[in-house]
Chain A
Amino acid sequence: EPEVTQTPSHQVTQMGQEVILRCVPISNHLYFYWYRQILGQKVEFLVSFYNNEISEKSEIFDDQFSVERPDGSNFTLKIRSTKLEDSAMYFCASSVDRDSPYSNQPQHFGDGTRLSIL
């Protein structure tokens, strides 16, 4: 079964540094997402991406964050200048099969990247 893959599984970065988290969504999907889960808290939506542009974003997704689909397979989340509070598990997800775009389709999640800011 196709799956969402994320790299790296764990990223350690100094505060103030830029970090790029990478994801390969399921190949036939149209929508891509980033979520984060701070330790002990619930999963929070960051941003969704469709047709090469941001379709929805939350208040968390400020100017320090950006997303990109640099080629036909990768989807990246960049944090420009990391802060201690950016430490969290970041999940990528994808959904909506292009062959059946109108059915109730769930989002499929990767295993996440644990980001630790020192």
Chain B
Amino acid sequence: AQSVTQLGSHVSVSEGALVLLRCNYSSSVPPYLFWYVQYPNQGLQLLLKYTTGATLVKGINGFEAEFKKSETSFHLTKPSAHMSDAAEYFCAVSLQAGTALIFGKGTTLSVSS
């Protein structure tokens, strides 16, 4: 069965600092990998998705994620945090298009000035 582990339920950074949100997955086959962001009282917005063959994936708002098959990881990074990045971030995996997304527990990102 697939599972997603997000290390750190809460990450705090200063504005301008590096953001690193960790995600590890377990899957018997190479999965589809995604990061979603949820702002307060809003739905889930896609940040980026993993595409086969690319190890570094660029998303919206300056975020990117690196796929490391050997570590079964898909960590999310942003070089310089902005106050508007404060939100909850979810890593998700599915085995193929049209199947259930399995979500991690989420990481709340706080950004201080």
Contact = CB atoms under 8 A, between A and B. Distances in A.
Interface of A: 4, 6, 30-31, 33, 35, 41-45, 48, 50, 55-56, 58, 91, 93, 95-96, 101-112
Nearest to B104: A42
8 contacts: A43-B44, A43-B101, A48-B98, A48-B100, A58-B100, A104-B97, A107-B101, A109-B45
Contacts of B42: 111
A4 B45 CA distance: 11
A46 to B, nearest CB: 9
B43 A55 contact: no
Interface residues on B, range: 20 to 34
Contact of A101 (B43, B92, B97, B102): B97
| 3 residue pairs, one from A and one from B, having the closest CB atoms | A45-B100, A111-B43, A109-B44
A101 B49 CA distance: 16
A103 B100 contact: no
B99 A56 contact: yes
Given A42-B104, A44-B103, A104-B49, A91 B43 contact: yes
A112 B43 CA distance: 6
Contact of A95 (B51, B90, B97): B97
Contacts of A96: 97-98
A32 to B, nearest CB: 10
Contact of B100 (A6, A56, A109): A56
Contacts of B101: 33, 35, 43, 45, 93, 107
Contact of A106 (B34, B43, B90, B106): B34
Interface in B13-45: 32, 34, 36, 41-45
Contacts of B92: 43
B78 interface: no
Interface in B74-103: 90, 92, 97-103
